[in-house]
Structure formats: structure tokens, C-alpha cells
Amino acid sequence: MRRVGTRNPVFMLDEIDKLGADFRGDPAAALLEVLDPEQNNAFSDHYLEVNFDLSGVIFIATANTLETIPAALLDRMEVLEIPGYTREEKLEIAKRHLVPKQITEHGLDERQISFDEESITTIIEQYTREAGVRNLEREVANVIRGVAVKVAENLPYQPKLDPAQIADFLGPQKYFSEVAERTEVPGVATGLAWMPTGGDILFIEASQMPGKGNLILTGHLGDVMKESARAALSWVRTHVEEFNLNPDFEKLDVHLHVPAGAVSKDGPSAGVAMIVALVSLFTGRRVRGDVAMTGEITLRGSVLAVGGIKEKVLAAHRAGIKRVVLPDRNRKDMVDIPESVRKDMELVFVKRIQEALELTLESVQVVVAGPDSGPPEGTAARA
């Protein structure tokens, strides 16, 4: 500040969630005073042993996660959450900035190499999984380096790259997205998840077997998600009369599994999907394959708001989902969803679990036969 000659600069504290403390001291302790506007007007620098007025300084800190920031330090900050780029935003950034930049840096021109939208989308979806575009730029550079080698060695190649050539340069596909598909087996529901790299769909699988009334939970679930599963089973057990069920839960084990067991999962937003999967399992009614859902549940049957709505809806759209069931309290988040996505999907808001069940489970077809006639051949009647 002495060098620039002003007392009101902007300080950028990058990666503040990586703060460390050891025998040399705890930088968080100094930051408690620095970032507090009520006392940083007389900040004492222990190196110079003089007081200095920091009240005119604007401090901006960045972090990838809030969990590792000391609570007292976080309390002195105003948190602004910046969502990751959508697929469409990454595509535009690559077309307008990343690709031209890398072509120039590698000594090529647009006559020697060009990317179409399909090629860039292939790199985004199959070779990167991130909230930003850092790895996307690296993969684009890898492709351009491969082309530069061919140019330097006068080898034949196709200047206009297609997805097949992308695989030749980058190797086998690295990441696979879950694709929504209609399941023929009751007990499977499609949920939505938020991750730092964006949204994704996940499948909640439920099965039952003879046992001693245990609830088995697998899939690398966190404590909050396990509590949601217990709450979902408790709600189903208290509402069995609504579905004309009479299972003996004391002689039944229920198993809930969320695939991709190597990936840790947590949060309350899978509660609705868990209840739908359990009701589907016990009633034998399949879950609609074109429907995904998210929402926290209560034992009273209410559906509560959750976060990451924009990322979740975009993930459902990528997976071919046509209807998304959302908590009614998340209507405010619709302003963040692109208009093109809203027009292409049916976004339905619910307040109660019963509403979500009506929108997600396939309807039961009852066939009424005459006194002298049996059911039509090939028709299954469900009561």
C-alpha cells in the first residue's frame, strides 16, 4: 500500500480454504482482525509493531469449499456462491477464446486445424469433468499438439476435426454420464445430485428380502443422506394403508443402494427419490423413466427446498429427462435456468410427498372383466 500510495486497494486472498496452522503460528488468527471491519481500523502489524488503518481496504477471498474455513473467520465474510459453467457456456468459451488462443500458441492457423461444435462438445462431456474450463483448455491443447506433430512431419490428416479424431488424439473416453433410461423393474427412481463440477443424475435402487427388519444402506453415503433414507422408510411404514399394503416389516430387510459406490454422496435432497423408490418397490408400480426428482422430506410428508437447482435441471436435460419434480419453495430458482431448457422440459413443483408420487409413478390400470369373460390375452390386471 505504501508503494501504490493509496489506502483503499483491493486485496485478493486466493484459496483461503487452504489455510494451514503449525508451530510458526496460525494465519487465521491474524485474518480474524484483518477481515473484521469493526476493528481493522487499528490493525497491529507484529512485524513492524505499528498500528495501521485497514478499514478502507476491500478484501476478496476465494475458496473451493467452505467446510475447511474456520467458523469464526467465515462469520466475518459475506459468502457469494458462483456456480460452475454450463455445457453451453463452456462451448462458447472454447469457441471464442480457448481454441483460437491454443491454435496461435502452437504456431498453427485456422486453415490447418478447425473444431466444430460436436468435437468441442465431445471433449467437454467425455474428457473433462469440472466446474471451470482449465482442464478443457488442456485437452484442447493436447489435440492441437497432435495436429502440430502431423503438420511438422508432413503426415496426412483431416484439418476439420470430428469426434472420431478427438478419440485418436485423446484416447478412450474418460468420463461417462448417466443416461436416463426407462426401467422395467419397480424400486428404481431417478434422483438429481449437485457436485462441484456441476449436476448429475443418480439412481436410487431399493430391494427387499426376508430378514429381521433391518435397513441396509450402501453406495458410500454420508450421514445426512443416511438419515434421509431412514426418514423415507419411516414415512412409508406409517402410510402403508394408503397403498393397500400389509408387509411384515419385522421379517423384512430393506436395502437402499445408490450406484457409483466409489463416489461419496451426501445431503438431504435425495429424500423424495428414496420415498418414490420404496413405494415403487412395495406396490410393484414402476417409476416413469422420463421423470427425475429432488427434494428434502419430513416425517409429516412435506417437501422442503434444496440447493443446486440450476445444475440439477441442466443435468436432467442432458440426460433426456422430460419432467423434473421440484420442491415448491424452489420456484425462486427458475430465474437461473436458461429459457431454452425451461421450454424443453416440464418443471413441476410439489409441496407434499403424495403429489410427487402421483407425478412419478406409473398409473395402475385396472381391468374389469365380465362374468363370462376372462382378462384379454397378454393383459396384466393390477388391483
Residue 171 burial class via C-beta count within 10 angstroms: exposed 0-12, middle 13-18, buried 19 and up: exposed
CA atoms of 321 and 201, how far apart (whole Å): 10
CB-based contact 119:163 (threshold 8 Å)? yes
Provide CB contacts within 8 A for 375, sequence distance 6+.
Answer: 367, 369, 381
Query: Residue 329 has which C-alpha cell?
Result: 419453495
Q: What strand order describes the sheet that includes 215-218? A: 215-218, 252-257, 198-210, 188-195, 291-293, 323-327, 346-350
Q: Which amino acid is at 227?
A: E
- Active-site residue, 312 included: yes
CA atoms of 100 and 96, how far apart (whole Å): 7
Q: Which amino acid is at 279?
A: V
The catalytically annotated residue of 90, 228, 265, 269 is 269
By DSSP bridging, strand 50-52 and strand 303-304 are unpaired
The catalytically annotated residue of 90, 265, 310, 312 is 312
- Active-site residue, 150 included: no
Q: Which among 295, 297, 266, 318 has a CA at the least distance from the CA of 129? A: 318
Q: Which residues are catalytic?
A: 269, 312
